[in-house]
Amino acid sequence: MDRFDWVAVVGFGAIVATATVADLEAVVLSAILGGFVLSLALWRLSAGHVWEALGWFAWVASAVALGFGSDGRPLVLGVFLASILLGLGLQLGGRLELLPDVWAAENETGE
């Protein structure tokens, strides 16, 4: 685990603790979670880990869907679950190098 992973773990822990103590509404929790995940996505993108960044962006969609609530709304629940799974696949694919590094340009020597 690198520094980024520790920031993500501590950040999610702080959000869960805040949501538990403050009894936040779903919309407020969604905004907090979405903003945090968006900042993580941009951090990964600026570090050159594009697949992981796309996974975090998919989880931003999950946070937005969380704000709509899933009470009797199967479409919102479907979007939430699909974006969670897509984000997980992109995260693992990027970390385990299962997805090609299509954004890295080869130099003229072929390296």
Q: Give the separation between CA 11 and CA 36, rounded to whole angstroms.
A: 8
- Whether residue 106 lies inside any domain: the answer is no
Q: Is the pTM of this model over 0.85?
A: no
- Whether residue 88 lies inside any domain: the answer is yes
Q: Please, where are the H alpha helices in 1-111?
A: 3-22, 26-46, 50-68, 74-95
- Whether residue 71 lies inside any domain: the answer is yes
- Whether residue 107 lies inside any domain: the answer is no
- Whether residue 75 lies inside any domain: the answer is yes
How confident is the model over 45-95, as pLDDT tens digits? 998 899 999 999 999 999 999 888 877 788 988 999 999 999 999 999 999
- Whether residue 102 lies inside any domain: the answer is no
Q: What is the domain extent for residue 60? A: 3-95
Closest CA to 17 of 69, 91, 9: 9
Q: 6: which residues sit within 8 A by CB, 6+ positions away?
A: none
* Domains: count for the chain: 1
- Whether residue 38 lies inside any domain: the answer is yes
